């Protein structure tokens, strides 16, 4: 089991590891779509697909049989912030951060990708 943040989703606890650099590299262009996440607005279909792909990739490290469909069913707006923070860092979020925003703080500082 790879170290990560223990998060309760779908009635059980899961150890959510951080993304590997290779996984991040594979999705780097899609991560740019998350920069536009606004806690006051609904997520777009494209943003949901990116979140599910990123979380599925990270979770696959500890749970190789977990499907993207199962991950999508486990994610909700109550755990989304914490899960995103976990896949970009193995540290749990500081007290009071959970639920504050549905985007990981580092997403806003990611370098822009050009074609």
pLDDT of residue 50: 94
pTM to 2 decimal places: 0.76
Residues 30-83 have pLDDT tens digits of 888 887 776 667 888 989 999 999 999 999 999 999 999 999 999 998 999 999
Helix axes 80-88, 45-60, angle to 10 degrees: 50
Residue 104 has pLDDT above 90, yes or no: no
pLDDT of residue 94: 60
User: Where are the domains positioned within the chain?
Assistant: 5-109
Read off the pLDDT of each residue in 11-27 and give the average, rounded to a whole number: 95
Count how many Cα atoms sit within 13 Å of the Cα of residue 26 in the half-sphere of its side chain.
11
Closest CA to 50 of 78, 90, 91, 19: 19
């Amino acid at each position: 089991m790879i170290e990560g943040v223990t998060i309760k989703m779908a009635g059980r606890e899961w150890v959510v590891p951080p993304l590997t650099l290779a996984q991040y590299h594979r999705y780097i262009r899609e991560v740019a779509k998350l920069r536009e996440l606004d806690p006051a607005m609904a997520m777009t279909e494209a943003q949901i697909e990116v979140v599910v792909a990123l979380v599925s990739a990270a979770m696959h490290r500890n749970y190789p049989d977990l499907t993207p469909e199962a991950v999508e069913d486990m994610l909700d707006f109550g755990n989304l912030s914490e899960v995103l923070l976990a896949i970009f860092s193995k540290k749990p979020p500081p007290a009071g951060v959970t639920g504050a925003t549905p985007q990981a703080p580092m997403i806003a500082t990611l370098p822009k990708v050009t074609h």
